Structures are given as C-alpha cells and as structure tokens.
Structure 1
Amino acid sequence: MSQWKQIQQLEIRLLEHVDYLYDDNFPMDIRQGLASWIESQDWDTAATDESMAAVMFSNLLTQLDRVRLDEQNFLQRHNMKIIQQQLQVGQLHLTPPQVKVTTNSPKPKRSLHPGPLEKSLQSSVAFERQKNMDNRVGIIRGSVQLMDQAVKYIEDMQDDFDFRYKTLQSRDSTDRNSDMMKQEVTRLQEMLNRLDFKRKEILSKMDVVVKEIDDLMTSQLSPELQDWKRRQQIAAIGGPLLTGLEQLQGWFTLTAQSLFQIKRQLDKLGELVVKVTYECDPIPLQKPQLEERVKYLLYHLIKSSFVVEKQPCMPTHPQKPLIIKTGVQFTTKVRLLVKLPEVDYQLKVKTTFDKSRQFFILTNNTKVMDIEDYSNGCLSVEFRHLGLLSVTEELHSLSFEACFTVQGLTIDLETCSLPLVVISNVSQLPGGWASVMWYNLLTDEPRNLAFFGNPPRATWSQLSEVLSWQFSTFAGQGLNKDQLSMLGEKLLGQHASCSDYQVSWSKFSKENIPGKPFSFWMWLDSILELIKKHLLPVWNENYIMGFVSKETERTLLKDREPGTFLLRFSESHLGGITFTWVEHKDNGEVKFNSVEPYTKNRLSALPFADIIRDYKVISDGVVPENPLKFLYPDIPKDEAFGRLYNCQPIHPYIPSHLIPISVQ
C-alpha cells in the first residue's frame, strides 16, 4: 500500500496534522495527483545534491503537466495550471512533505572498489575534480531545463494576453469608454508589464547560464580534454592504461545539449516576438547577441570534440603505436565526443598524410561515418601508405578533416595524430620506438614535427619510469629499484644516484656504449626482445638479476656456497643472457665461472629452465656434472626452477634430449 493511501486511513486528528504540513507552496492537490511518482523518488539525495534537485524539479513539473492534461474536471485542471505557474515562477527546489507511517529500512552504502589500473590513474584529487565536473554539468543541465519551463510559462502568459487584447479589439467602439473597458485596459497593461518582466528575467537567466557554460568550457572542460590527450601520450609509450574518454564524451554531449536547448529557446522567443511586441521589447535587443555567443560556443565545443581515439598502429606491433612501415597496413580511429542525433546524413572524414611531403594513401583517403557507427560516437578507418626511405627521427603527421551542418551551424572539423615515425625495414623499429618514447615523454605538443632538430634532455627519474614501463608492457613485469639503479649506473656512470641528472637524446639512443658497437637503447631493446620471446617464465619469477655488472657479480658471489649462481644479461652481446657460478679451491682461492651468453638462436633450441637443469661441465678425466646448485642467494636450483622444467614425453623409445655442455 502506498504511503498516501496509508495516510488517508489515519485518524481525523492525525489527518488535521497532515493538512498542517501542506501549504500554498506545495498544495495537497499535488501530493494527491503525483503520489506514485513522488514516493518513487530519492528525495534524501536530492536534498544534498543541487544538480539532482534541479533535474528532479524539472521532472516534477513535467509530471504535473501530464496529470493536468489527463484531468477531466475543468476546475481542477485550472487549479493545477495555477499551481504549476506558481512553481515555475518561484523555481523552488522542493522536498515534498511525506508522513512516514512505516519504519525506514536502512539503505545499503555504496562501495567503490576501483581496479589496480584505475587506482593508478585516479588520485583523490582527480576523483574530486571529476565529481565537481559532474555536479557542474548537472546543475547547468537542470538550469536549462528549468528555462524550458519558464519559456513555456511566458508563452502561456502571452497567449492569455493576446486573447484578451484581441477580444478587447473586437468589441464595439461605443463600449471603449465604459468603466469595464477601462478596467480591462488596466488589466492588460498589468499583464504586459508582467510579460515584459518575465521576458527580461528569462533573457537575464540565459545570459547567466551561457556565461557559466563559457567558463565551464574554458576552465574545466578544455583542461580535462588536454589532460586526457596527455595521458594518451603516456599510455602510448607503456604508461597506465588510458581511461576517461566515455566520461569526457558525457560532459561534452551534455554541454552541447544544453547549448542546443538554449538555441531552441531563443528561437522560441523569436517566434513570440512575431506575435506580440512593444516598445523597448528586450527580446529583439538582447536575442541577437545571445544567439551569437551560443553559436560561437557550440562551434568551438564540437570542433574541439573531434579527437583521435586510437593513434595509428600496425596490427603486427600493437604495443608500439605511432610507427608505420612502408607498405604495411595500419589502423587508427577518430571520435566525435558530442553525440548529435540531429545529424541524419553520412559524415565523411578525409585523411591526409603529410600535406607538405611526398607520402600518399594507397587506399581511399575518405571514409564515411554512417548512422550506425555514429550512434557509438566514433569512426574507425584503415589505411595503407607507401613512403620513401626515412630516418627514424623524421616525424610525420596524419590529419583528419570533416565538415557538416547541424541546426543551421556549419562546422569544420580537423584533428591530427601524434607525430609518426615512418620506417622501411623492421630493423629500424627499435630506433623508431626510441623516437616515439622520447617525443611523448618530453612534450605535449600535438604536431611538433621539428622536435628532433634540437631534442630536449630527460631527467633520469623520467627516463627510468618509461624504461620500467617497457618491461611491464613487453615482459609482463616492470623493473624494481635495484634493477633501475643498475641500469642508471650503466648509462650514467658516477651520476647514477642523481634522479634529476639530465640525459641527452644522443647518449640514450645514438652514441655507442664505451667499448661496445651499440647504443644503450639498442642493448636494452635487445634484452626486451629476448625476454619476450624466450625468458618470460624465468623473468616473471624474479630469478633474473639482470643488469648487474661483472664487478658487482663477483662481490655478491664470493662468500656464497660453492655452486651458487646468478643470472644476468650480457654486456658484450646484444640480446644475450649468461650465468656465473662460484667455486672454492682447496687453497682458499675463489673462482668465478661465466658461460658464453645464450642468445635467441641458442634459446630457440632449448628452454632456458631446461638449460639450467641439464647444464654440464666436462674436463679431462672428470665425469660430467652440473655445477649449478643454488640460485643466488641460497635457493636450491630445483626448488627454484622445478615447475618450469619441460617434462619428458612417455614413449616406447629410449628418450634423448639436448644437453648444454661446456668444456674446460
């Protein structure tokens, strides 16, 4: 049974108290007519959430209008119209009184448990900022909906005035000096004054809301979009997973809806002026300026909402976007963050590759966003291009252009991808990826194609974080503090402990490591490839110390049990891993033995864990044995690697397998 029906069954003395609760601001007629709707709303939340209260008030007026139109009794319908007009004039945010005759059951508390990736992206400050944005957009939306009611109220007032005025005009001229006619003229003048006041009031409110939208776009919406674009750059080079585009689309769409609704309200006011106008009518004076501001805001809002959702990427290298190989297909996706159901034709997007250079799209460079794709707010396009041989530091750009008309506005859309690197051979891929990382780490400019003319330096703290992301992306696990410290020592030498030490682009990617025929990045990238293809199980168990130098290696092993070994990446070979074990001679001498590095060619034949298990050393007159006993610091070999060993198949033949052997 509804609360209102339960109230009606109360004793007379209690019903008198109920009557006392209701007044002219919220008559009992409204409670009676909207009982079911009122009792289904969350008024507790509306009492503390201004944006929700504004929307709920608008919904209340809509419900009241529905009930009024369904009402058969003429007098009751008239009373409801008066009540509705009073509510519109007062613009009250109401919490309708309800007599609670049953005990409220406790409401479950909402629990938010963001996943680990969300936690990495959303600090408490960011969450509060987004909540503030939600509230502000909601308040604006509610205010615009209230203005809809106000415009309708003005229209009703004007219809009443127009009817009375035309009735007066139709009367016989002999009656125009009668007292009744004078009273009617006075009443009409009062109505006109009231109409003028309401017109000025709605224009003033529109001005306030338009200024609020302008400030929202400038101070919050645009910075939020720029923040997303910056996070997109970071995500492209292995940083935290990119989120927030759907939220942005919601803000953009609601803001655009508010502006379009104001535009329709201004159109409606223009129609009213055609029917009734007078000297110093505020609508012809203020409407043109408001319309221009609304059009200006709509143009820039929609124009800025055209973004590259997915940066150009080859399907063969999904984790290395923004590198395009000549003759290889790549994909990219653009999205319009403002959903516009009014657009009922195909929106064509033209793509141009390097307007000023000699590259061209092999496939059709114009793609169509049809109505089905448009309902999702995004467009996906695939292209293939060919280019000349290019150095990996030369940057290129992919541009997207479209033009469409909506509600009388013609809007030119244009956006561009982040700078691309074009390669002609896969051997250029590591150098190209270094360029992509360096650019997106150190600048947020969307089209600085001359960046590598004078590339800025990176601090070690910046660079080390990006390097850790590479291992997390390609090898499943980032680098710990010790591993980063070892890398820093290899790249920076005596400056390894300085997190703010400036690393040049040349030192990172171009100059060879002293005494080696390769650069720091080429060495590190070869290790990433080795882990990805041959060492993932061992790497993800944290068994590879990795970047320890030979000197540090000996310091760590010298006091350990004989047969203690550790795994490290080769400093002399690209993409090689080796192990070193310690021996103790009878005379107290400590001996260190390092095996020739295993590269991808050798690891293609045997899994690395099996190499550890089966490794043998042969010397003159000595039975072959496995010298590897304990993984540093003191983990028994089989305990560490046992679950990674490759089990031998059961078959009727005598089993045979490859054994890695060193000869001393």
Structure 2
Amino acid sequence: MKIVQKQVLAHPQKETFQMLDNEQNTLKKQIDAELTSLQQIDQTFVLSPHEIRNVVLLLHELTIQSIQLELYHEELQLLVRPQTPPPTIAALVVIEQPFPMVITKCKPLEDDPVVVQLLSGTRTELQLIGKVKATMIVENQQNSKTSSTPKTIETEVVSMDETQRLAKYHLKFLNGTRKNPVTLKFGMQVQVVGGTPVNIESPPTSPFIVITNECQYEESDGTLLKKDSFGNNAEIAWASYANKLQRHFLRATRQDSIKPTRYLARHELMYLHQQFFGGRPAITQSLFDTFWTWFGKGLQKLRYQRHICSMWQSGLIYGFISRQSVEEALRNEENGTFLIRFSERHAGHFAIGYKVDDPDIEKRIRHYLVKADDTAGAKKTLPDFLAECPQFTKILQLTIDPMSGEPRLRNFPKDVVLEPYYSKREALPATNGYDSLPVLN
C-alpha cells in the first residue's frame, strides 16, 4: 500500500487514484470486519492463554493498521481536495504496553516497557520531531494530571529515535493513584517542511493503578478487572469475562502469558462459573462484585503469601474445587491423605480435606479451616503448619493431562514434596479445627 501510494502521488492519474481509493476503502472494511470477528471470538469461546494473547495482539495490531490506513487515505484525498498550507499527516500511537495491571509505587517496569511510535503519510517530510512527553490522566478528567507536584512519573520526557520513530519508556511511578484507575497519553510536537509546528497526542493506554502497599492489591485489581471486562456494559458474556479473568490471573500470579506454569484450567473455570455465576451465559456487574469479594482475597494470598504461589503452580494446592469434589477425590485414598483448597465459605482461607480411620464411613472425610493463628506470614508458613500435623501424611498433587486437559491427582508423602518449603526451626503445637472437628485424632 505504501509503495503504490508513493507511485500514485508522484504521478497522479484519475484511474490510478480511483483504484487506490477503492482499495483503501475495501481494506478499511476488511480490517473492521476482522476486528468484529475477533471481538465475537472473545465473546463466544473460553480461550486458552495462548489464544487470548493472540487475540489481544491481533486486535491491537489491526487497530494500529487502521490508524495508518486513515493517514494514507487522508493524504490521498489531498489530490482532489488540496489544502494550503498542507496539513501535518501524522499520528502518535502506543504499540506496546503492559496494561491493564496493578503497579507498585517506585518499582520500575524494566521488563514491561511502553513503546510509542510516530506514524505519518508516505510523503510527510518532518523537519522537526520533538521529544515525547507522558501525561497521566485521571479517569473522567481527560485534561487533568493526577498530580503536578510532586512529580508522578520519574521520566516523563524521552527522545524519539528519528530513524525508527520509536520512543521507549521504562516507567517508574513515584506516587500511588489512591486505588483509582488512570491512563497515560503521550504527546509531542512535529513540523513538516514548510509548515508550522503542531502538537499531536496518542490515544490513551489501557488503565492501570499504582498502589503504595500490598494491602491495596485486592481492591485495585478488582477495579481494573471490572473496568477491563465490562467497560460501560451492564452485563457481558461469560466467555469474554473468563478470558479477561485468565489474563489478569496470569499477571497477578507473575506468570508468562505465552507459557504459563499453571493457568486457570477448563475445570477450574467451570467450577467458578457454576459456583459463583450459576452457569449463566451472561454475568452482571453485581454478580462480579459478589465473586470478587471471594476470589480477590484468595488472589491476594496467592500473590503475596510466602510459598503459596509456588505451591499452587506446582499443584500442591488444588485451590478451586468444591467440598463435595474433595470428598469424592479422597474417598478411595489411604488414611492421612489430604488436599488443599480455597474455602468457599471463608474467603481468603484454605480448607484442608483429609481422610481418617473412623468406623463411621460418613465421618472418614474431614475438613479443617486453616485459621489466621495457624500461620504467621514469613515466620510460620502453611508448609510449616502442615509439617506439625501428624494426621496429614500424604498430599494430593494436581496435574493437568496434556492431551485431554482433564485434572489428575497423585499422592506423595508430604515431607518429600514439602520439605523444600519447611523453615528450619522448632515445631510449634497445632490448634483445633474446622466445622468443630479436631485436627488431631
């Protein structure tokens, strides 16, 4: 398209102009159709992490192509509708960004740069390319910075590589955003040969929130996920929400979006869909709020509590499974076998289902709620607590069958798989348990 446009502009003829004009209009329709198709895929199918990433990248790339095509089309129309002085046919776009995400104050995004590109028409000769300035925009205040004093972004202005027309930001935010979503816009001054300097501005990035401490993570990520999922809609398709949830979950648990260690598997999403959304094809914002009240607390623990994320990713914590399914999984196991899940009734707490030797068959599967005083942050971790409980002998570890995608459980002696997590210290006495059942027999 670029080569043909240069030829047409160099030697304009009615026939070639009309051909190129038609070609651009057809291509615009094709891009719009592909964007619609990708959005329909997202709303119809629960995708794998790899598929989600491809859809996100394609949506972004097609949007950039659409902007570039509009610049070419504007330039072509000058042949029939010339302007004096000629307009500056250029646009600033964000081609790479890690958002939406929750960012910790003063933590540099070294591995997640924001990259801005300058696009222009085929014959736009720029004699001036200024530096690029980032501005933080508060939601619903599109012309206001979050703060002018003190400085919010460590490096607000960067130079643009004039050959590649790229500017790269390794952002570090010096202040929190008070759990409010914000975006970035990038602006610069350009000047065409023979023209006057003009300011151009990029569309906003996806939203993000800067937190000042880890206690703000749960609420902040819930705010972002809700905004990312619903936008201005009262309800959305379950498939679309599941795909957004998967993307946020991988970010929250610090996993590679291409090859995650353990993403939300099909059976886990089905469990969440049924348990918290009643299996409905569409979910509302109020249902999301109820779900996040439970899910967000578990996600906070996965992200910040020592050893928890590692144990979850290795399948030592099953996590998302119903009490009834735990009992079915343990029914044919040896006494002392246990499985760790997130409690459905006590958000942010672990429940341990375990099998004991009891003459009453109905009482052989018991459940223990891990209480706050059972663990104490880094001083006494969940593995330390498990080590102190002699009734827990073999742990059920979850794996996903690579062919069928179905969950598989295998039991291992707890001290074999948990020993690397144990603290080197003297054991403390255990405490009582869940549903008024004793921990120790």
Q: Does the CA contact (< 8 Å) of 1:359 and 1:386 recur in 2?
A: no
Where 1:360 maps in the other structure, the secondary structure is coil
* TM-score between both structures, scaled by the size of structure 2: 0.67
Larger Cα Rg: Structure 1 or Structure 2? 1
Structure 1 contact 544–567 (Cα < 8 Å) conserved: yes
Percent same amino acid at aligned positions?
16
What amino acid maps onto 2:271 in structure 1? M
For residues 265-280 of structure 1, what are the structure 2 equivalents within 5 Å?
Answer: none
Q: Which residue of 1 aligns with 2:166?
A: 378
Shift of 1:401: 3.2
- Letter of the 1:347 counterpart: G
1:663 Cα deviation after fit: 4.7
Distance in 1 between residues matched to 2:29 and 2:184, nearest whole Å: 29
Give 2:14's aligned residue.
204
Selected match of 1:337 from 92, 98, 119: 119
Give the whole-Å Cα distance in 2 for the aligned partners of 1:656 and 1:429.
31
| Structure 1 segment 273-422 matched on structure 2, within 5 A | 289=80, 291=82, 299=89, 302-303=90-91, 306-311=92-97, 320-321=101-102, 332-338=114-120, 342-352=125-135, 353=137, 354-355=141-142, 357=144, 359-361=146-148, 362-363=150-151, 370=159, 373-381=161-169, 382=171, 392=180, 396-408=182-194, 412-418=199-205, 420=207
SS in structure 2 of the partner of residue 658 of structure 1: coil
Q: Determine the C-alpha separation between the residues in 2 that align with 1:356 and 1:647.
A: 50
Q: How many residues align?
A: 394
The aligned residue for residue 628 of structure 1 is 393
RMSD: 5.1
Is the 1:609–1:641 Cα contact (8 Å) retained in structure 2? no
> Does residue 578 of the first structure (1) align with residue 345 of the second (2)?
no
Instruction: Tell me which residue corresponds to 2:412.
Output: 637
The answer to whether the 8 A contact 2:383-2:418 is kept is yes
The answer on whether the counterparts of 1:543 and 1:567 sit within 8 Å (CA) in structure 2 is yes
Q: What secondary structure is seen at the aligned counterpart in 2 of 1:335? A: strand
Q: In 1, distance between residues paired with 2:185 and 2:336?
A: 60
Aligned 8 A contact 1:398 1:417 in 2: yes
- How far apart are residue 400 of structure 1 and its match? 3.2
Tell me which protein shows more helix as a share of its residues: 1
Partners of 2:69 and 2:178 in 1: how far apart? Answer: 47
For residues 636 and 364 of structure 1, the distance between their equivalents in structure 2, rounded to whole angstroms, comes to: 51
Measure the CA separation in 1 of the matches of 2:362 and 2:28: 73
**Equivalent residue, structure 2, for 1:433:** 221
8 Å contact kept, 1:338–1:377: no
Residue 567 of structure 1, CA deviation: 1.6
2:101·2:209 contact (CA, 8 Å) conserved in 1? Answer: no
Q: Residue type of the partner of 1:240?
A: R
Question: 8 Å contact 2:127–2:193 — kept in the other structure?
Answer: no
Give structure 1 stretches of 5+ with no counterpart: 1-136, 152-201, 264-286, 314-318, 444-450, 618-625, 650-654
Q: Decide whether aligned partners of structure 1 residues 584 and 220 sit closer, same or farther in structure 2, where only a CA change above 3 A counts.
A: same
Q: Is 1:473 matched up with 2:251? A: yes
Question: SS of the counterpart of 1:646?
Answer: helix
The structural deviation recorded for 1:219 is 3.0
1:484 aligns with 2:269: yes
1:356/1:291 CA distance change after superposition, 3 Å: closer
Q: Structure 2: how far apart are the matches of 1:559 and 1:211?
A: 71
8 Å Cα contact 2:218/2:299 also seen in 1:
yes
1:546 pairs with one of 286, 310, 319:
319
Tell me which amino acid in the other structure corresponds to 2:250: S
| Secondary structure, counterpart of 1:544 in structure 2 | coil
Report if the CA contact (8 A) 2:218-2:297 is conserved. Answer: no
What is the correspondence of 1:44-59 to structure 2 with a 5 Å cutoff?
none
Question: What is the TM-score of this pair, normalised by structure 1?
Answer: 0.47
* Structure 2 unaligned regions, length at least 5: 42-46, 254-260, 398-407, 431-438
Residue 568 of structure 1: CA displacement? 1.0
More strand by share: 2
Classify 1:218/1:586 alpha carbon distance in 2 versus 1 (closer, same or farther; 3 Å).
Answer: closer
Structure 1 residue matching 2:13: 3-state secondary structure? helix
Conserved in 2, the CA contact under 8 Å of 1:402 and 1:413? Answer: yes
1:12 corresponds to: none
Partner of 1:141: 3
Contact 2:395 2:411 in 1 (8 A): yes
Find the aligned partners of 2:174 and 2:94 in 1 and give their Cα distance: 19
Give the structure 2 partner of residue 508 of structure 1. 288
How far did 1:545 drift?
2.8
